[in-house]
Copies of this chain bind each other. A is one copy, B any other.
Amino acid sequence: MISSRFPISLHILTLLDDANGAVVSSDYLAGSININPVLVRKEIMNLRKHGFVDSKEGKGGGSFLAKSASDINLGDVYKSLRNQNILGQSKNEPNPKCPIGKQINQHLNTLYSDAENALVDNLSKQSLADFASKFK
């Protein structure tokens, strides 16, 4: 299943788009998503690192989109969440003495990265603006 971080990130971005440039606090975001504010701040940290949002510290601070919603594409958001290669990464360690087990991870990884590319390509067809427009 797509990491639950993806819906959180998308939710944040959608709310920020909805705020129309206004600064939004992590507490407000957490309230809408219904998760802990610290988790929100962690996701924002990632979104900021990837240039999707920016934040302002201190009183009256919060986050806002760092670029136009039409310049943020959902495939890129998805990709921003992977450490290396999200989808597969079999952490399982098959028996190296088995001729199949020995090489299966290598083949699985190829399979996964192809499949994941197809998924990302699909997500990339949509911008945050497209997605957010569904709420209007």
Contacts and interface: CB of A to CB of B under 8 A. Distances in A.
Interface of A: 1-4, 7-8, 10-11, 14-15, 18, 31-35, 74, 86-95, 98-101, 103-104, 107-108, 111-112, 114-119, 121-123, 126, 131, 134-135
Contacts of A10: 104, 108
B98 A7 contact: no
B123 A93 contact: no
Given A31-B98, A100-B18, A114-B122, A3 B4 contact: no
A122 B131 contact: no
A45 to B, nearest CB: 19
Given A88-B7, A108-B7, A34 B94 contact: yes
Contacts of A115: 2, 119, 122-123
- How many copies are assembled? 2
Nearest to A30: B95
Given A1-B87, A115-B123, A100 B7 contact: no
A112 to B, nearest CB: 7
Contacts of A114: 122
Contacts of A92: 4, 7-8, 33-35
